[in-house]
């Protein structure tokens, strides 16, 4: 999207172009542009097997739990902490979602309450350990993550778990064909359209507020509108309606979680306090921020999101296995750290995390479609994570 | 002992942007001299030292060791710098700290000869008069002993010209004594020592020569023997008294009591009795390490008293300018707006308790304009601002909160003269019947410029508060 803006600005002279190229906006877009170029490369290489709306949305659908875990670790990262227990919590609530129904025959609303409570309590324990007892955040959450994982084994026997013909069944709206967990069940596209319209308007206002010197208000407003229209046209040329129609219920839930979290982080005092706490806890405390409370709350939110990730995972899979959450931690952290260099210069934020996590999946999928064995997934995730963190560190050092 | 070179500085000039800090410094230091370098904050002392150390580069001028022109002294073996931050590793022993960065003493191959390293370390600390087991971790030493270890390390590396930058300011009297004795011994040994200090007695008792920098120029360069205490103070405060006059304009009705400390103890402070009333600007000064700032934290409420009481109505709004701007002041990655509004954020809550970012931005921009923050865009990053502008933003944050009790710690630390005057004007404007201001500063100029009554903090307690007009800088310096 930024390359279009660059073309428009170039009209106002080379110095404006240079200023634009070195502006924070441009620097924050570099990674996004790099990814987009990579995908164009995939397109040329693989053609329609890569640029396949259903297949790419299915990637997002299947990775929704990981993306939610990315948001979970992001919240604690904003507070300047690490939460390594999200993988364990995710596995625990997956087992609770399946096991409490199949083995204990609980009513499903009670199961959901149990999952939410598990997330809140687990997060609270993490927060208290780190803040009140001063346990190192790595050690505390590494330990509690092990405990959460262990509890799922203790409660449900430590083996794979799925409904059988004789056991109580999961509710039909939750898992199986035509349910929350199935890719076939779509999110109302009108809501997606409203969201996209809001994004377009937001982008328009954002460009409008960055009027370069020497432009009249009216002319810049027209230019801003033109940029948005051109972008929209490009998206329509890329088959936007098919993407919108393909958004599954799970992806819809993911977007709603992201939206709520974004509002909390951007439009509430809590969000602002959290960023301040993470960036300079001493200064935040002396400015009147209750840093201890904010940090504990960050762990609680992280726990809750991890619990939700587990529930969604259960809906997608319809089964639970002990190793289901292993390997989730790396892509979750990769998504959060990638988010700091997507539309941003060094800050953790919601949309960066979701987009970063999605890009990460597509990079891997592209290679798999192109013939690289799927066993390379973790290698690719690791390489992209390290590269992203290196880039974001360089940006922060400059800032 | 290698011989000590003669250090000559000619025509040294330095500006930061349009702000000229050093206007041409000429100095020559002979071997075997103990020089005291003095001057008010912001006069250019630390800029001079930083140029010599190679942290800044000079705009003009030359630095010479004997006849050799050098860029800076930072990388020269024969020069050593001891800053307030001593650069010791707390968890490591004296011996390990001394050996860091030195050629290791080997036994066989990569195996260290620990015995010889220990002996060398013991010898090095004995030379500065420190009698300690060299295996003692540095964290177990007193502040004075740590400084001695830093001196020993610098000497052990072969330094013959020593710059000691305010290293005594945080030390208790007895420890300062040990340090100056150790420095005296190295001078008698033929080395050159240049000590930056605000302590008059130290300079008068121990140095051979006094150099005073005022506003970027050498205003005094005389043998210590020709100066007495009053003579030295006059040379230091010639300008301060002019500035202080401006402060005595607007008297104000005294309001009711807003906050009271009753035998409150916390951190290094206490027991402190202190009453703050509306309409008064109270000033406290003292040496760093006297618990000065902890009194500020107690009054602000960011430190709970371990004993005694801080009596304040729950509804009283309090705001603090913290003493250490870089570590305690701003949020580096956030914007100027976010830094300005951090303390009063609930004010911009609107529909559904969500923040009205537009209004917040306009109010923040208004404050940034009022305080002349440069560059002036409130959406710009805070981290890249200069020290003075950061201080303005921190002030703006406090002003936006509109508190009834202001606690201003080191309000002018590291800011230039112009900003300093702006800050004094701001503080004076705060004076009103319903507002109490507490200024806590180790810079006496701050107190005389804005305060109605002044107290000296010694060992965590406040002596009686004296009306500012009944005291002059000399008396205050004598008390501190």
User: Chain A residue closest to B328 (CA)?
Assistant: A283
- Other CB atoms within a 10 A radius of the CB of residue A78 amount to 24
Cα distance between residue A366 and residue B71, in whole Å: 55
What residues make up the domain containing A384?
A: 26-51+327-399
Q: How many domains does chain A have?
A: 3
Tell me: pLDDT of A10 over 50: no
Q: Which of B300, B320, B345 to probe by mutation at the A interface, max A CB count within 10 Å?
A: B345
Do A42 and A163 belong together in one domain?
no
- At residue A134, the pLDDT reads 93
Does the distance separating the beta carbons of B333 and A396 come in below 8 Å? Answer: yes
End-to-end Cα spacing for chain A: 24
CA distances from A182 to A160, A187, A313, A343, B324 (A): 20, 11, 11, 31, 56
Helix (H) or strand (E) holding B262: strand B257-266
Q: Which residues of B touch A (CB under 8 A)?
A: 300, 302, 319-320, 322, 327-334, 338, 341-343, 345-346, 349, 353-355, 357, 381, 383-384, 397, 401
Does the distance separating the beta carbons of A269 and B355 come in below 8 Å? Answer: yes
Q: Domain end: A224, A246, A268, which one? A: A246
Confidence of residue A260 (pLDDT cuts 50, 70, 90): very high
Q: Which of B304, B319, B322, B333 to probe by mutation at the A interface, max A CB count within 10 Å?
A: B333
Tell me: pLDDT of A333 over 50: yes
Backbone angles phi, psi at B452, to 5 degrees: -90, -40
Distance from CA of B325 to the nearest CA of A (A): 9
* A286 → closest Cβ in B302, B333, B341: B302
Q: How many domains does chain B have?
A: 2
The per-residue pLDDT string of chain B (480 residues; one tens digit each, 9 = 90 and over) reads 457 788 999 999 988 766 678 888 999 998 999 999 987 656 778 788 888 988 888 888 999 988 888 888 888 888 999 887 788 888 899 998 988 878 788 888 888 888 888 999 999 999 888 889 999 999 888 878 899 999 999 988 888 999 998 777 667 667 888 889 999 999 998 899 999 887 777 888 889 999 988 878 888 899 998 888 778 877 776 554 444 445 445 567 788 889 999 989 988 887 889 999 988 899 998 876 678 889 999 999 999 899 988 888 778 899 999 988 878 989 988 899 999 999 999 999 988 889 999 999 999 999 999 888 878 889 888 887 777 788 899 999 999 999 999 999 988 876 666 677 888 888 988 888 889 999 998 777 788 888 888 888 887 888 778 887 777 766 666 665
Do B223 and B339 belong together in one domain?
no
**Count H helices, E strands: chain A?**
17, 0
Q: What is the pTM of this model?
A: 0.78
User: Mind giving me the DSSP string for A236-274?
Assistant: HHTTHHHHHHT-BHHHHHHHHHHHHHHHHHHHSHHHHHH
Structural domain includes residue B239 = no
Do A237 and A302 belong together in one domain?
no
Q: What is the mean pLDDT of residues A73-84?
A: 95
Do B52 and B198 belong together in one domain?
yes
Do B123 and B252 belong together in one domain?
no
Structural domain includes residue A2 = no
Structural domain includes residue B416 = yes
Residues of chain A with C-beta less than 8 angstroms from the C-beta of B337: none
- At residue A15, the pLDDT reads 61
Tell me: pLDDT of A62 over 70: yes
Structural domain includes residue A6 = no
Q: Domain end: B227, B259, B280, which one? A: B227
Q: Among A155-164, A196-205, A322-331, B46-55, which range has the highest average pLDDT?
A: A196-205
**3-state secondary structure (DSSP) of residue B14:** strand
Sign of the alpha-carbon torsion through A160, A161, A163, A165: positive
Does the distance separating the beta carbons of A275 and B343 come in below 8 Å? Answer: no
Model ipTM over 0.90: no
CA distances from B200 to A48, B160, B194, B197, B478 (A): 81, 25, 15, 8, 8
Do A142 and A271 belong together in one domain?
yes
Structural domain includes residue A157 = yes
Q: Domain end: A278, A301, A322, which one? A: A322
Do A261 and A143 belong together in one domain?
yes
Is A82 in the B-facing interface, judged by CB distances under 8 Å?
Answer: no
Do A242 and A253 belong together in one domain?
no
Q: What is the mean pLDDT of residues A301-325?
A: 93
Does the distance separating the beta carbons of B343 and A283 come in below 8 Å? Answer: no
* B281-286 vs B106-108, strand pairing mode: unpaired
Do A310 and A279 belong together in one domain?
yes
Residues of chain B with C-beta less than 8 angstroms from the C-beta of A398: none
Do A253 and A313 belong together in one domain?
yes
Does the distance separating the beta carbons of B319 and A288 come in below 8 Å? Answer: yes
Residues of chain A with C-beta less than 8 angstroms from the C-beta of B326: none
Confidence of residue A247 (pLDDT cuts 50, 70, 90): very high
* Residue A267, both tokens: 């439009």
- At residue B113, the pLDDT reads 84
Does the distance separating the beta carbons of B327 and A280 come in below 8 Å? Answer: yes
Do A256 and A235 belong together in one domain?
no
Strand partners, B438: B282, B407
Does the distance separating the beta carbons of B333 and A347 come in below 8 Å? Answer: yes
Does the distance separating the beta carbons of B355 and A272 come in below 8 Å? Answer: yes
What residues make up the domain containing B92?
A: 7-227
Does the distance separating the beta carbons of B381 and A284 come in below 8 Å? Answer: no
Does the distance separating the beta carbons of B397 and A289 come in below 8 Å? Answer: no
Do B222 and B248 belong together in one domain?
no
The enclosing domain of B311 has a CATH number of 3.40.50.300
Do B296 and B358 belong together in one domain?
yes
Confidence of residue A398 (pLDDT cuts 50, 70, 90): low
Cα distance between residue A168 and residue A176, in whole Å: 14
Cα R_g (chain A), whole angstroms: 22
Residues of chain B with C-beta less than 8 angstroms from the C-beta of A279: 331-334
Strand partners, B214: B217
Distance from CA of B69 to the nearest CA of A (A): 34
Do B432 and B302 belong together in one domain?
yes
pLDDT in tens, A98-110: 999 998 889 999 9
Do B206 and B261 belong together in one domain?
no
Do B190 and B134 belong together in one domain?
yes
Does the distance separating the beta carbons of A283 and B328 come in below 8 Å? Answer: yes
Beta-carbon contacts below 8 Å between A and B: 69
Q: What is the mean pLDDT of chain A?
A: 88
């Amino acid at each position: 999207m930024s390359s279009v803006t660059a073309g428009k600005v170039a009209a106002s002279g080379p110095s404006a172009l240079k200023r634009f190229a070195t502006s924070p906006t441009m620097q924050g877009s570099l990674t996004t542009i790099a990814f987009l170029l990579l995908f164009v490369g995939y397109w040329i290489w693989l053609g329609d097997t890569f640029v396949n709306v259903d297949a790419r949305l299915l990637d997002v659908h299947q990775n929704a739990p990981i993306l939610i875990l990315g948001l979970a670790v992001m919240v604690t990262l904003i507070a300047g902490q690490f939460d390594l227990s999200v993988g364990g919590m995710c596995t625990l609530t997956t087992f609770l979602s399946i096991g409490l129904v199949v083995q204990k025959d609980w009513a499903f609303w009670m199961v959901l309450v149990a999952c939410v409570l598990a997330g809140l309590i687990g997060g609270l324990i993490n927060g208290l350990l780190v803040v009140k007892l001063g346990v190192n955040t790595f050690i505390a959450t590494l330990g509690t993550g092990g405990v959460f994982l262990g509890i799922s084994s203790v409660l449900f026997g430590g083996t794979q778990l799925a409904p059988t013909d004789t056991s109580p069944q999961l509710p039909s709206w939750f898992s199986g064909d035509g349910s929350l967990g199935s890719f076939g069940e779509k999110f109302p596209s009108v809501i997606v359209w409203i969201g996209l319209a809001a994004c377009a308007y937001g982008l328009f206002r954002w460009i409008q507020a960055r009027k370069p010197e020497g432009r009249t208000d009216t002319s810049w407003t027209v230019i801003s509108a033109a940029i948005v229209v051109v972008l929209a046209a490009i998206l329509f040329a890329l088959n936007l309606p098919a993407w919108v129609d393909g958004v599954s219920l799970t992806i819809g839930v993911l977007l709603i979680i992201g939206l709520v979290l974004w509002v909390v982080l951007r439009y509430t005092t809590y969000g602002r306090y959290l960023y301040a706490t993470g960036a300079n806890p001493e200064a935040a405390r002396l400015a009147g921020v209750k840093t201890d409370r904010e940090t504990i709350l960050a762990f609680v939110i992280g726990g809750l999101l991890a619990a939700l990730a587990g529930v969604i995972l259960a809906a997608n899979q319809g089964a639970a296995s002990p190793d289901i959450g292993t390997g989730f931690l790396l892509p979750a952290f990769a998504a959060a750290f990638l988010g700091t260099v997507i539309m941003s210069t060094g800050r953790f934020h919601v949309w960066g995390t979701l987009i970063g996590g999605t890009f990460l999946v597509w990079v891997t999928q592209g290679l798999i479609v192109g013939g690289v064995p799927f066993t390379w997934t973790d290698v690719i995730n690791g390489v992209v994570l390290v590269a992203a963190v290196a880039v974001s560190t360089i940006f922060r050092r400059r800032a | 002992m290698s011989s000590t070179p003669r250090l000559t500085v000619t025509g040294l000039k330095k500006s930061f942007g349009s702000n000229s800090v050093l206007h041409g410094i000429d100095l020559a230091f002979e071997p075997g001299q103990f020089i005291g370098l003095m001057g008010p904050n912001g006069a250019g002392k630390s800029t001079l030292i930083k140029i010599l150390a190679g942290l800044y580069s000079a705009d003009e001028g030359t630095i010479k060791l004997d006849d050799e022109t050098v860029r800076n002294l930072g990388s020269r073996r024969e020069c050593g710098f001891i800053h307030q931050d001593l650069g010791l590793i707390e968890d490591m022993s004296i011996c390990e700290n001394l050996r860091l960065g030195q050629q290791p003493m080997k036994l066989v191959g990569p195996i260290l000869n620990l015995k010889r390293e220990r002996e060398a370390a013991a010898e090095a600390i004995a030379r500065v008069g420190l009698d300690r087991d060299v295996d003692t971790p540095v964290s177990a030493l007193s502040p004075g002993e740590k400084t001695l270890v830093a001196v020993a390390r610098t000497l052990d590396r072969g330094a013959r010209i020593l710059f000691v930058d305010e290293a005594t300011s945080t030390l208790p009297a007895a420890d300062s004594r040990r340090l100056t004795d150790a420095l005296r011994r190295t001078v008698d040994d033929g080395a050159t020592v240049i000590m930056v200090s605000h302590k008059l007695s130290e300079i008068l008792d121990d140095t051979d020569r006094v150099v005073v920098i005022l506003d970027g120029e050498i205003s005094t360069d005389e043998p210590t023997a020709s100066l007495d205490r009053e003579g030295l103070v006059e040379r230091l405060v010639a300008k301060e008294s002019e500035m202080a006059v401006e402060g005595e304009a607007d008297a104000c009705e005294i309001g009711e009591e807003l906050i009271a400390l009753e035998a409150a103890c916390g951190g290094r402070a206490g027991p402190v009795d202190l009453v703050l009333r509306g309409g008064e600007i109270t000033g406290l000064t003292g040496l760093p390490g006297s618990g000065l700032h902890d009194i500020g934290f107690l009054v602000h409420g960011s430190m709970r008293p371990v004993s005694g009481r801080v009596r304040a109505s729950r509804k009283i709004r309090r705001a603090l300018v913290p003493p250490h701007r870089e570590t305690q002041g701003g949020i580096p990655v956030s914007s100027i707006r976010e830094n300005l509004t951090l303390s009063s954020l609930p004010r911009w809550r609107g529909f559904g308790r969500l923040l009205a970012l537009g209004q917040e931005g306009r109010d923040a921009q208004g404050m940034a304009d009022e305080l002349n923050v440069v560059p002036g865009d409130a959406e710009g990053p805070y981290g890249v601002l200069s020290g003075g502008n950061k201080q303005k933003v921190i002030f703006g944050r406090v002003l936006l909160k509109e508190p009834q009790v202001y606690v201003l710690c080191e309000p002018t630390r590291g800011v230039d003269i112009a900003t300093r005057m702006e800050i004094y004007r701001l503080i004076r404007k705060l004076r009103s019947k319903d507002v109490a201001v507490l200024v806590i500063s180790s810079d006496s100029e701050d107190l005389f410029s804005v305060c109605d009554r002044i107290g000296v903090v010694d060992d965590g307690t406040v002596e009686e508060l004296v009306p500012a007009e009944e005291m002059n800088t000399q008396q205050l310096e004598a008390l501190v």
